[in-house]
Homo-oligomer: A and B are copies of this chain.
Amino acid sequence: MRASPARLASRPKNNEFRMPNNLQVLIDKLPTDKLTADTYRLAEAPAPVPEDGEVLVKTTSFAITAGTRAGLQGSASYAGAPRTGVVMNGTGVGEVAASNHPDFAVGDAVSAPTGWQIYSTHAGAALTRIPPDHEPVDYLGPLGVNGLTAYFGLFEVGRPIPDNTVMISAAAGSVGHMAGQMAQQVPTRIVGVCGSDAKARTLIDRLGFDSVVNYREDNFRQALKEATPNGVDVYFDNTGGDILGSALRRLNAGGRIACCGVVSQYDTSKPEPGPRGIPGLLINKRISMTGFLVFDFAHQYEDARRQIAQWLADGTLKHLTDDVNGLEAAPQAFVDLLAGGNVGTRVVHIN
């Protein structure tokens, strides 16, 4: 990552609100294989000026999530074709620094698609207001896109019923560790898959997972089999690849796969073929595999947030965060995340 020469803001002096300088992480080049920190560069620019109906947000923290890696791939993801010279995307929380919108006042706590930068402007409809009794950082996890993804993927797509076995890959990730705790409310047997024994212990000891299997161990398939003596009814798939292939073999007749993410395929220029047994095993076992994007459930966010906030308040749901300090640390923190370095939501704190 290289710093570009600072460009100082030169707003007229008679402005009511003098725009501060903005610090941003820009996409400098598109990765051709594994992501490296020099994909990005730090830049200074004048903070944007909110137009009519817009709000200027000063970000205090933002989340780094594996799914945004797909947006850097040559083939367009749902987010569209990747571009360079733009701010890296991500969800942030912060406060209103200036407002041209009647519903928002300076100092209001909000969540927004801020990207990796300090200042950003947004239409009012793009903001989520954070009530005073909520933790802002929870809007990067359980009450944000990640938590809502876990909620709708589990309850609307996976649809576990009591006594089902629910298997979750990338179980220590931001979405996974939420989905596992939510599935306990059904209740179900929760079997996580993650990449280290330390993560496994955290999920079992702190979050109540019934069993967690390390996919990096040679005996992974056998361990998964032993962890799922009654097979698997719902598989919440954050990874695709070999773990999906292993899940297919453990799924029961009538099993359901909620396809949430493909972390095994993000950080590469050569995506693997799909697992063997597709579609043969889907037929023999009447399995359904359904891809989803959380945005399709936007009309149900309010109800979901009410339920999730209640679980947070009564201690049912714990939000694990993996904290990083400083905008300049974000690129390496993303590289580490893609290598499986995080437990819970990776949050970058700017201030």
Contacts and interface: CB of A to CB of B under 8 A. Distances in A.
Contact of A293 (B70, B261, B286, B288): B286
Contacts of A291: 279, 281-288
A38 interface: no
A275 interface: yes
Nearest to A240: B279
B276 A275 contact: no
A260 interface: yes
A33 interface: no
B293 A283 contact: yes
Interface stretch (A99-107, A127-135, A172-180, A266-274): A266-274
A304 interface: no
B237 A259 contact: no
Nearest to A276: B273
Contacts of A78: 283-285
B286 A244 contact: no
A252 to B, nearest CB: 13
Contacts of A240: 278-280
A332 interface: no
A262 B289 contact: no
Indicate the size class of the contact surface on chain A.
35 or more
Copy number in the complex reads: 2
A240 B276 CA distance: 11
Contacts of A276: 271-274
Given A240-B279, A275-B278, A278-B240, A296 B286 contact: yes
Interface string A137-163: 000000000000000000000000000
Interface string A45-71: 000000000000000000000000010
Contacts of A77: 284
Most buried by B among A262, A265, A287, A292: A262
A277 interface: yes
A316 interface: no
Nearest to A244: B279
B296 A283 contact: no
A274 B271 contact: no
A98 B285 CA distance: 37
Contacts of A279: 237, 240, 244, 257, 259, 262, 274, 289, 291
Nearest to A78: B284
Contacts of A284: 77-78, 291, 293
A32 interface: no
A154 B122 CA distance: 45
Contacts of A300: none
Contacts of A280: 70, 240, 262, 265, 271
B259 A283 contact: yes
A290 interface: yes
Given A271-B276, A282-B290, 6 more contacts: A259-B282, A262-B280, A272-B276, A278-B278, A286-B292, A288-B288
5 contacts: A78-B285, A274-B274, A274-B278, A282-B289, A283-B293
